[in-house]
Each structure stands twice: as C-alpha cells, then as structure tokens.
Structure 1
Amino acid sequence: MRQQQLAASHGIHTLDTGYVRPSFGAAYLVVEQGRAAFVDCGTNHSVPLLLQALSDAGLGPEAVDWLVLTHAHLDHAGGAGLLMQQLPKAKLVAHPRAAPHMVDPQRLVAGATAVYGEEEFARHYGQLVPVPDERVVVAGDGHVIDLAGRALRCLDTPGHARHHMCIWDERSRGWFAGDTFGLSYRQLDSAAGAFILPTSSPVQFEPEALQASIRRMLETAPQLMYLTHYGLVTEVRRLAADLHEQIDAMVSLAQACDGGPDRHRALVAALSEYYLERAQAHGVPMDDAGVLELLGMDIELNAQGLEIWLDRSRRRG
C-alpha cells in the first residue's frame, strides 16, 4: 500500500493489465495537469481495464497525449493498436527497432504463434491491430516526451531485447523500467524488502548489454523503479547489485549445462535451485513449492533465452 501511495503522489497509477494472473503485468498511467500518458498497455484484453482506470482518474480518452512502449513484447505492447483506436489525440512512442512492429505486427504474430500455437496466441492476445504510421513517434536514445510540461526521457536499454527502452521521470526520480530492471513479484516480498531476478527471456538476451543498461540507469541516482512485473520497487541500489550478481550466475549456470544430454532440463533445474536458494536466504514467506509455482513460467523462459544466447554466441565464435 505504501508503494501505491508513493506512486500516486507523483500522479502515477499502477494498473493491473490482467495478463496471466493478478499482479503479474502492469501498465502505468501518468497524469499531469489534466493530461495523461500510458506507459505500456498489456494485451487487447487489457484495453477495457486501462480505459476504466482513465475514467476512475476523472479523465476521458481525449485527455491521453501519449502511449509509450518500453518494448514490443506482446505482454507489454500487444494491445497498442486497439488502445490507440480509443485515444483520438494520442501518439504512440516506441524504440526505433520496435516502431515498425507496431505499424505492421505480422512478424510479432508469427513469432508468438510459433512459441504458443494459434489457439494459445488467440487466447492470450487476440488479433493484433496495426497502428497508423502517422501516429507513431520513433524515440531514439535521449528522446524527450513532453507531457503538459513534464519531461519523460527515453533511454536505449538493450539486454533483455534490442528494441527496449526505459523512460526516466525526473518528477518522481523513477524509471519506467519495462523488463530491463528484472522481475519482482509482491508475493515474494519479505522483511528484507523486495525479491528480484533478471529476465533473460527469448530471443535477444545479451548479458553484457543488460549489465551496461542497468549501470546507465543508475547514473541518474534513481529512487524508484516502475516494473512491468510487477509494480513499484524502492531500494534501487540493492536490487541493482542483486541483478548484476544474478546475471553473472545465470550465465555461468547456462555455460555449465551447455553440451549436456538434455541441456534444457538441466538448465531449468539449475535455475530453479538457484532461485530457491536466493528466496530462502531472502526470507521469502512462501514454501519452495509455492516459489517454483509462482516463478515457473519465468524459469522456463529464462532457460530458453539463455540457450538461445549460448547458441548465438557459439555461431559468432
């Protein structure tokens, strides 16, 4: 509750997108002098929830100037086209590598369908809607979005994905971090604070780039991080140190499992054991089975991303 109040004091509302389970995927509504911006939007199924949150804030769709996407992964951006149809005055802001996928989402559809299958894709995401090219703003590194005089600065932050950017809000001294600053679920909070882990999900995980992106974010001396998965976290320096340590450890585990008879199964097991050890040391108020159930999808995706990185590194080598 304190975290929600802290965000709201800066005109920032955390919105549950309803993706997968409660408190898993967040979008953010930033309100400044009667004008608004969404940061990320979830899927098509999230759009009614976002519009209701806008109404609850006393605003209509015409008050929204910007939809800002941290990156093009569908749990963050799948509903962009449908939402933009409801926001008559808004522009969509995206990384140079992400913007083309918003105008023509067919490659996103093909990639996600290959992973999930047509039935699961339709269940999670529905039919993606293109955004007209003239409504898209391409945000390079350092691009500044003006929200009623409130500056939101975009930073190129590869590592999780090459089309990822984070957005700096000087007012709150916080970053809208997308997936660059990892995953932190409120169910895993303990007396020691938030529990965090990196996300190395497919297909563009690059550990050195991710480490560098986190270091760049720390250069602003941030006090807050607004995560997509999930919500606001503080203690930024401690969490950054945890992420750096874990990225190195995950790379080592992946390399140790490489070349084995069942690399994927071995890596899933190694990551599971590693996260359980960290959760126990952190005093997470959940038994091992509960932790593994909560993190199961993330462990699977992290393993896949690490394996793709291993294979790509081998081809380059």
Structure 2
Amino acid sequence: MSAATASAAEHGIVTIDTGFHRPVFDAAYLLIENGRAAFVDCGTQHSIPALLAALDANGLTPDDVDWLILTHVHLDHAGGAGALMRRLPNARLAVHPRGAPHMIDPSRLVAGATAVYGEAEMARSYGEIVPVPAERVVVAGDGFVVDLAGRPLLCVDTPGHARHHLCVWDQRSRAWFTGDTFGLSYREFDSARGPFALPTSSPVQFEPEPLKQSIRSLLARDPAAMYLTHYGRVEDVQRLGADLIEQIDGMVRIARAAAQAGSEDLHARLTAALADYFLARAREHGSALNEEQARDVLAVDFELNAQGLEVWLARAG
C-alpha cells in the first residue's frame, strides 16, 4: 500500500494522506462497498497519485468509483476535483448547491486564490484547477442521499465554516465525514486525554453561530466517530464538540477585543492573541509538544483563523 495511504479500516473506510502542505495534514477518504467506491474530498491535483494508489491497494480501479463527494470547494478539499474526475470515467460529483457552480466553472476560485497566493504558489501548492462537466455534477442539497452500492450516505447542510459546506453521515460506521465543520485535530497534539481539536475560521465565510449549530447537529446523532479532513478519525466526539463550541466563543471574544483596540496592527494583535489562546488550551490538554513545536504545527492556522475573523468583523460591523 502507498505510504500516503492508511490501511483499510473497518466499515470499508480508508484514510488517504493527500500530501498537501505537510504529512498527516490533509486527508481524503475512500469508501468501499460491494466492490464499488466513493471518495470524500480529494485534495489538490498533486494528490491524484495517492488517491489512485489507494484504489489499487484495495483491489479497485478508477472504473469502480461511482462518486466523488465534496464537503466544500476550498482548494485543499476540492482543488483536484476536475482533474480527478477525468480519471474516473463512471463517477459523478456530489457537491453543495452553492459549490456546484464553482466546480463547473472554477474561474472565480482560481482568480481569488491567485490574487492571494500568486501564480507560482498556486501551481506549486494546487496544480491545475480544471472544470467538471455540468452533466457529471449532482447538486447535493440538505437531505440528499448518495447511494454507494446500496450504502446510503446522507448529505447535510452544515454552514459556519463556509456557506457551501456539507457533512456526510454514514450509518454503517455511525460516523460523519466533517470536512472543516468539526474543526482541526492534528495527531501531534494527541495526549492521554485523547485528541485535541480547534475550530477553523479560515476566510471568507466564517459565521460563529451557524457553526456552533452545525456542530450541535452533528453531535445530535450520537456518532461513534468523526472523519476530519485535518486530520483523520477521532472519537470522544461529545467532549471535542463541547470544546469546539467553547473555543468558537473564545475566538469571538478575542476578535471583538482586538477590534476595540483599533484598526492599526489589527491582524498582528489578533494573530498573537489567537496563538496564545490555542497554545494555552493545548498545554491544558497535556500536549507533549513544546511551545516552539506547537507554534510550528499551528502557524498556518493562526494566520488563516485571524484572516477569517477579520473578514467576519468587517461583515458584522
């Protein structure tokens, strides 16, 4: 099996390390049922070899894939969708109604990301972003059920991280595929207490109250586990969900306090305050990482969370 692919788990769920950004950071999932397959999220164009290797390692071919389900269209989850679909002749792509237009015509996604990162970094991190033919796109509204060889996968609207976000409920495993709705949980922070999770407010559609309600909706099904994009399967989900809701409220307090101090150096103040907040919580959790190590793992998230909170502050007035 590919080094980028975890061993096949129970319930026919395989965790695939897409290789985006760093190892064990960005996951896609392969679901296998009666010789048929579905991917949940796909990473970037650079992730395609790992996805195809996961098929091969499990005795499958691209012809056996019926679905690519996207939790949302942020590029670390969906940047490779168009290129991957070209390799999956029988697959359809299921995506939130708000995300579907961006898969059929990704030009706005590309323009927005290029404006932030520049062309060279776009090519390095994401590769080519290509459209998906409209006839292969299935709009998965709230309550839509993907049928994977008789295995129902329920798509539920879960705004808060993004307005085009859905999560996928798999009754077989009693687990959710959560994209970014259930936050980030990096394995480096696991301790004797179990996993540690923090919310993600990356730009540009973070909304704290809808996000908290989405988390509560996921927990209401009493899931056995969550499959996060960042990163992997986590259990003890009721504790994690309560922690996430508490941290969302903490992030809102931090953002409002930073805004009240004035607009000058807002981003720097906000980033520093978020770093202090999350690092303190990681220490309380019993993380074995020292502060320098923890800062290194979370540096991108401090930056993205600050950016997203700034956009939210501007929108909230």
Q: TM-score, normalised by structure 2?
A: 0.97
* CA distance, structure 2, for counterparts of residue 211 and residue 114 of structure 1: 30
Q: How does 1:68-83 map to 2 (within 5 A)?
A: 68-83=69-84
C-alpha displacement at 1:300, in angstroms? Answer: 0.3
Give the Cα separation in 2 of the matches to 1:272 and 1:219. 30
Counterpart in the other structure of 2:231: 230
- Structure 1 CA distance, aligned partners of 2:296 and 2:115? 24
User: What is the match of residue 61 of structure 1?
Assistant: 62
Q: Which runs of 5+ in 2 are unaligned?
A: 1-5
Q: List structure 1 runs of 4+ shifted beyond 3 angstroms.
A: none
Aligned-pair distance for 1:305? 0.2
2:214 equivalent in structure 1: 213
Displacement of 1:128:
0.8
Residues 148-227 of structure 1: matches in 2 within 5 Å?
148-227=149-228
1:36 matched to which residue of 2? 37
Choose from 272, 275, 278 the match for 1:275. 278
**Counterpart amino acid of residue 27 in structure 2:** A
SS at match of 2:226: strand
Superposed CA deviations along residues 187-229 of structure 1, whole A, max 9, x for unmatched, are: 1101110010000000000000100111111121111100000
**Deviates further, 193-202 or 124-133:** 124-133
Q: Which residue of 1 aligns with 2:3?
A: none
Pair 1:302-2:305 in alignment: yes
Structure 1 unmatched ranges of 5 or more? none
Q: CA RMSD in A?
A: 0.9
Task: Work out the CA distance in 2 between the residues paired with 1:21 and 1:154.
Answer: 29
1-structure distance, mates of 2:236, 2:57 = 30
Q: TM-score, normalised by structure 1?
A: 0.97
Structure 1 residue 55: Cα displacement = 0.5
State the alpha-carbon separation in 2 of the partners of residues 83 and 126 from structure 1: 12
SS in 1 for 2:11: coil
Counterpart CA distance in 2 for 1:82 and 1:276 is: 38
AA in 2 matched with 1:194: P
- Other structure's SS at 2:93 match: strand
Paired residue total:
310
The residue number in structure 2 matching 1:251 is 252
Secondary structure of the equivalent of 2:15?
strand
Identity of aligned residues (%): 65
| Equivalent residue letter for 2:272 | A
Look up the SS of the partner of 1:196 in the other structure. Answer: coil
C-alpha displacement at 1:108, in angstroms? 0.4
Deviations 1:276-300 (A, max 9, x none): 1101111101000100110000010
CA distance in 1, matches of 2:204, 2:241: 23
How far did 1:248 drift? 0.1
1:29-65 per-position Cα deviation (integer Å, ceiling 9, x unaligned): 0000100000000000001110011000100000000
